[in-house]
Structure 1
Amino acid sequence: MQKKTKPIPVISIVDEFGTGIAIEKTYIPDLPLLDKATLTPFDEAYQSHRHENHSFFLLETGTITIEIDFQTLVIQAPTVIYVHPDQVHRTLSAENVSVSALTISQENLNPDYLKLLDDITPAKPLVLAKETLSILSDSVSLCTKLSERENDKLHHLMLKDSCNALAAFVISQYLEQAESAGKLSRFDTITKDFRKLLERQYATLKRPAEYAQKLHLSTPYLNECVKNTTGYSVSHHIQQRVILEAKRLLYHSNKSVKEIASDLGYDDYPYFSRLFTKITQMTPLTFRNKNRD
């Protein structure tokens, strides 16, 4: 009999707090590597989950091990971590961790910031200089104090504006890091446009020529740009994005492999199964069973 699992939990701060904004500071003295079998339904942070909203984590002290979209990251302070609502994540372990977390709904974020966040996703953890950490710590402190002043007449507006300023500063650090790597070349710009299009249409567009047509480029030129910038072909990126979503569905749903293949735009189920096996070195069912043990 097939093992059953609940769909991936989606944690919503809007339901819990009613404002669409939550900010809190947590200290974890020691949390050893977790055994999934020992977790309870109340250990939300340690179960794979999504946030319905945008999340910013300021790791001020300690070391934390987290899993984001099946990739394990060991992160040392001082670091800021941004997690997009689409990303599945969980905490694996922590050691002497002091972390401040801001979770803010899409409706409360400045539209310009939303666009920039989509551009930098998936964002790697960003190591902070001492001065930058100080500014972020002060910003978090201000947001926290304002969140507690619920009786102020302009409470929500003040909280919203201060949290947007915090988000903007984090985004600026990501943009500054990107600029320090050098001005974007035409190859870089085209690759960025391809990635954005891929994120929107990976389930419907499967051939490099389709992406080239959408971007008004020749297929060889698009492939040259992407390969020059990333080291991998357009086909590789298409397949990797599809397989990531397949892994999410295999782990977090009880849909059959055939249903998942259809959801991802593959009417030829055997082809999808062969593609998954080629890329991951295991069949879809093996991946599901292995990760549910």
Structure 2
Amino acid sequence: MSFKPKFIPLNTFPDVESKGIIIEKSYVKDLQLERIRKAHRDNYHLFFILEQGSGIFEVDFKQYTIISPSLIYIQPYQVHRGISFKDGYFTVVLISDENLNAEYLDLLKKMAPADPLMLETKLFDVLSDAIAVCIKMKDLERKLYHSILKNSCNALIGLIISEFLKNSVQTDPQTRSEVIMSNFKFLLDEKFAAEKNPRYYAERLNISTAYLNECTKKATGNTVSYHIQERIMLEAKRLLFHSSKSVKEIAHYLGYEDHSYFSRLFNNLTGMTALTFRRKSFE
């Protein structure tokens, strides 16, 4: 049986001097592959642009095979790992919330989680030029260095976001229900462990519980309670699969004092016990 850490490892920004922005090119052979193959979270936005080669990533239990040229976006706190790489050459952009354009940050939250993108030749050429500019800015020594680098990276990320939006199903402006659903989703990501009553989210959004339920059904076909339970189950699965916390500890972490109730809920919603789900992580 392989070792599981007590907590899912969290990578904080790796370089204080960078002030929340890192952009660099590298080869897979230069990476600490054993570290990358272990499931972890980041507290920053990660854009991985594969320019040569191929690889397999796992993000929240979904595996993706990516072939160059392609792009994968990992939002903060998603659990992910690199499973394998072949002849990889890539650009990586790490950027913190405070360095992102507010509009871009909002769009990234709305579109996440996002599947990887295959890049058309024309777009890849434009992104390559934008990356080259960002890297040149990184090497400048100017009084406004950080602002220049920040603006350059935001231009690159704006191009990336526009491509994700072009490939998304959504083409018309968001309806009122979709806007409320997006706001509910943001709030749920922050409060799911502490607040499980739909009324709490409705009050925070200044609408009635009935109207919030109507909006979530129109936008997704599912109720508020369904989304709350789905978010809790995602975090439970993350902890069961990637950590050694006991079921009782996970229940308490997710706000359930009665771990037996949590166990029954997990079984009802997933069709298997928490321990059965955990055992699958060792198969």
CA distance in 1, matches of 2:165, 2:183: 16
Partner residue in 2 for 1:138: 129
CA distance in 2, matches of 1:134, 1:277: 49
Return the offset for 1:204: 2.3
Aligned CA distance change for structure 1 residues 28 and 186 (closer, same or farther; 3 Å): same
Partner residue in 1 for 2:79: 88
CA RMSD of aligned residues (A): 3.0
Return the offset for 1:218: 4.1
Stretch of structure 1 that moved more, 64-73 or 276-285: 276-285
CA distance in 1, matches of 2:269, 2:63: 19
Q: 5 Å matches for 1:137-216?
A: 137-147=128-138, 149=139, 151=141, 154-178=144-168, 181-216=171-206
Please report the TM-score for the alignment, with normalisation by the length of structure 2: 0.84
Q: Which of these residues, 117, 123, 129, is aligned with residue 126 of structure 1?
A: 117
Aligned CA distance change for structure 1 residues 18 and 61 (closer, same or farther; 3 Å): closer
Partner residue in 2 for 1:289: 279
CA distance in 2, matches of 1:180, 1:239: 25
> Is structure 2 residue 231 aligned with structure 1 residue 244?
no
Answer yes or no: is the 8 Å Cα contact 2:7–2:245 preserved in 1: no
Q: 5 Å matches for 1:93-104?
A: 93-104=84-95
CA distance in 1, matches of 2:3, 2:51: 40
Q: Which of these residues, 38, 47, 51, is aligned with residue 47 of structure 1?
A: 38
Partner AA of 1:87 in structure 2: Q
Partner AA of 2:176 in structure 1: R
Answer yes or no: is the 8 Å Cα contact 2:5–2:244 preserved in 1: yes
SS of 2:184's equivalent in the other structure is helix
Aligned CA distance change for structure 1 residues 115 and 184 (closer, same or farther; 3 Å): closer
> Is structure 2 residue 26 aligned with structure 1 residue 26?
yes
Partner residue in 1 for 2:220: 230
Aligned CA distance change for structure 1 residues 24 and 285 (closer, same or farther; 3 Å): same
SS of 2:24's equivalent in the other structure is strand
Aligned CA distance change for structure 1 residues 194 and 19 (closer, same or farther; 3 Å): closer
Please report the TM-score for the alignment, with normalisation by the length of structure 1: 0.81
SS of 1:25's equivalent in the other structure is strand
Answer yes or no: is the 8 Å Cα contact 1:14–1:21 preserved in 2: no
Give the paired residue count: 281
Return the offset for 1:171: 2.4
Return the offset for 1:112: 4.0
- Unpaired stretches in structure 2, ≥5 consecutive residues: none
Return the offset for 1:180: 5.2
SS of 1:55's equivalent in the other structure is strand
CA distance in 2, matches of 1:74, 1:237: 28
Stretch of structure 1 that moved more, 49-58 or 227-236: 227-236
Return the offset for 1:2: 11
- Unpaired stretches in structure 1, ≥5 consecutive residues: 30-40
Answer yes or no: is the 8 Å Cα contact 1:204–1:265 preserved in 2: yes
Partner residue in 2 for 1:34: none
Partner residue in 1 for 2:7: 7
Aligned CA distance change for structure 1 residues 225 and 154 (closer, same or farther; 3 Å): closer
CA distance in 1, matches of 2:89, 2:187: 37
Return the offset for 1:272: 0.8
Return the offset for 1:245: 1.0
Answer yes or no: is the 8 Å Cα contact 2:54–2:65 preserved in 1: yes
